Structures are given as structure tokens and as C-alpha cells.
Amino acid sequence: MSSEFVIQGGAKLQGEVIASGNKNAALPLLAACLLTDEPLVLHNVPRIRDVEIMMQLLRTLGASAEWIGSNSLRLQAADVNACDLSRDLCREIRASILLAGPMLGRVGEIRLPPPGGDVIGRRRLDTHFLAFSALGASIAVNGDFQLSADGLAGADILLDEASVTATENAIMAAALARGTTVLRNAASEPHVQDLCHCLIRMGLTIENVGSNTLIIHGRERLGGAEFTLGADNIEVTSFIVIGALCGGERGLWIRKAAPEHLGMTRLVLRRLGIRFDVEGGDVFVPGHQRLVVEPEFDGYMPKIDDNPWPAFPADAISSAIVAATQAEGSVLFHEKMFESRLYWVDKLISMGARIVLCDPHRCVVQGPSRLRGERVQSPDIRAGVALVIAALCAEGESVIQNVQQIDRGYERFEEKLRAIGANIVRR
């Protein structure tokens, strides 16, 4: 059932929110339960739609998955079968592809319908399949993807792109492979690091965690473990932008924010005039900030772009664009990774933003703009959250439709916003 947010803009937001666990870590960690017949207990798991769908997929394969606390999950794949997965469920989330690596390692086969997820441009699967092939798997495509292997063997693999999910899939496939795998051009995002640290607790040896060259020493079997997910750095970035644009006198505290992963976020948002402080594991965003775009040293218009970690994340570009509409000056955004991800800015333009969409990958934002309330539709998770942020600082009432997209990635988002003073209701 479709739902929508109704937001009255202009409220001053202050107080504190607690960062949720990393959505992009939760999904591969759920898939990792297939690598062992012992229990895997995960804490700080966000209760979001994508996690629930992944739990359903795991149950289809014979695993048990149950909530044992508000944000704690107990998973166990004592017996696993290689039955066909639901096409409808796989169409719901991109992360269904993450079942391929552990299933190849555990039972040697899986039939996987094409994964779905956000419509943000072509998202190729070749990197996954090239890695599986290097480990000894066979891949057949006939509408679905039929993957099989008569035992996997370690290999020296150079990924043709630093894909996060392909890196995670390759790590999990290599975990039960014979011998050692060297994975080059690997992604190193915080959620990839979380997966590595959990697998190490399960008994796997992985060298160079956090780098782009991982060395994985395969094991015949892995054991169970207990692991706590780190904070979702993209959600934290969203709340930093919210605090900077809408903050009241007392400012906004973001608790348990894992600030060690916010280095590039600090550098990039500083170009828009946004500042925040770190105290221990918390982040404080002062209220009443005046945003001014910081020009390049030679006076040229600054550029904000995304790249693989530790550069600025692609998932944070949408929130940064909204921030730029409220900053004095002009800035060029270059979204390099997904060719349809900027098309949502027409909705921001309808709210009064001054944006020139140069091509599918670039736009120029000139601010500050007085945004006005509008009825708009959320096209994907990150653009949907960006539209909510725009509505919070707009004049009048906004209606954000299709917010089940936001529910896929943000836990209790409107509840957190109401707790800091936002005028937002779901209907």
C-alpha cells in the first residue's frame, strides 16, 4: 500500500537522534549466515523493509531468521536448500544478488532471478560473475542466472570495477573456497569492513581489511558469531544536512554516529559552508548556520563529485544537492556512478530550486533559493530523503509520495524527525 509524508516546512529542529545501524552492512551480513550451520547473532540491525525482504529470502533457502530484540537478529542456516528464489522478492531489492556468493560456497549452486532495487541507471552484474568464474563457478543465463560450482578454489582476482556488492559477494564465495584468494580493486566502504570483521569473528582470516587489496584464506567451514553493526554513515550525513539547514538554537546531536567514517563528508560539506563537531562517538551540528559556498583557491566554481571509498559516497550526493540550494553561491555536482540518479532534481526545481541539469551526470546549483511546498514523488531511497529535507526547509506544505521507497533504507525516519521538532505525518 502506497503511503506519503505530509510536511509543514519551516520548523526549527533541535535535540538528538540516535544513528541507525548501517543498512548496506546489514544485507550482506544477513547473507553471511549461509556460510555456517551455527547461529549468527547481529545487533544494531535497522528494522527496514529491505532487511525484512532479505529475511524472507533466507527462509526460502531453509535458514531461520527471527528478531530477538528491537534491533537484534538471530540467524541460522543449519540446513540449506538450493530451491528457486521468489522472483517477486528478488525484484524488490538489489541485495538479493548477495545470496549468490555464500550459496556457491555452501552448496555449490543457486538459481537467481534478476535483482531489482532503485531505478537509478544500469547496474551491471558482470563484476560479480567474473569473480565467481575466477573462483571456478559456471554461469548460465536464461532469464534467470544459474550459478554452479563443483568446489571453489582461491584465485588472484582483479575486479573490473570497485563494486561494493561484487566485493562482498567475492569475499563470501572465497570464504569457503580451497586456498587463498587475493582480491584486487576491492571496495573498502565501512559496510564492506563490517562484513570482513564479522567473517573474521566466524573464523575466517582476511588480511588488509579497509584497503583495496584483500587476502582471504579460505576455510572448510566457519562457525557462528555475534556482531554489532556500525552506524549508517549515509543516514548520519542526512541528519547533518538537516541540522545545518533547519537547526534551532540548541543544535542537533547525532548519537553513536561513527565519526571515524565522516572524514570526506566533513571536507565536502565544508565547501557548502556546513560545519559540525565531533565529541567522542557523537556528532553535534550547530543551529542557525549561514551557508556560503567556498570557491576554489583560483576562484573557480567548486565541484562536488562521488567516487569509491574513501571519497564522497554516491548515496550522499542527493542530500548535498539540497544543501547547495540553501547556500550562497554556485556549485557543480558530478554524479559519476549512476546515469539516472540526477533526474529527480526536476522535483526540486518545481519547489523553487535554481538548478541546471547539464546532462545525466552533472548539474549546477545556484543558491540560496526560497523553496516552496509541493507535491512530489520519491523515485528512490536517497532522492526521497533529499526531498524530505527540501520540504523541511520549504515554505508551506509539501506532500512526499511513494515513501515506501524511503522505508527500504531509513528506520523510523518520520519518528526521528518528529522527535526533534519536525511537523511531519504519514498518511
**pLDDT digit string, tens, across residues 311-331:** 999 999 999 999 999 999 999
Nearest CA to 235 among 265, 280, 273?
A: 265
Q: Which residue has the higher pLDDT, 64 or 299?
A: 64
Instruction: Say which of 37, 88, 118, 359 is annotated catalytic.
Output: 118
Comparing 186-190, 194-198, 340-344, 398-402, the range with the smallest average pLDDT is 340-344
pLDDT exceeds cutoff 80 at 82: no
C-alpha dihedral sign at 79, 199, 98, 413: positive
Sole residue written with cell 538459481: 111
Using the 3D structure, point to which of 228, 259, 276 is the last residue of a domain: 228
pTM metric for this prediction: 0.93
What CATH number did the domain enclosing 397 receive? 3.65.10.10
- Beta carbons of 267 and 310 less than 8 angstroms apart: no
Same domain, 255 and 391: yes
Helix (H, G, I), strand (E, B) or coil at 241: helix
Same domain, 214 and 297: no
Same domain, 295 and 313: yes
Catalogue the E-assigned strands of 288-353.
303-305, 329-334
Comparing 119-133, 235-249, 355-369, the range with the smallest average pLDDT is 119-133
pLDDT at 338: 74
Same domain, 170 and 277: no
Q: How far is CA 319 from CA 25, 67, 71, 265, 330, in A?
A: 20, 31, 26, 11, 16
Comparing 64-68, 104-108, 115-119, the range with the smallest average pLDDT is 115-119
167/121 Cα distance (integer angstroms): 20
Same domain, 58 and 188: yes
Range 374-410 burial, b when 16+ CB lie within 10 A, else e: bebbbbbbbbbbbbbbbbbbbeeebbbbbbebbbbbb
Catalytic residue list contains 118: yes
Same domain, 248 and 389: yes
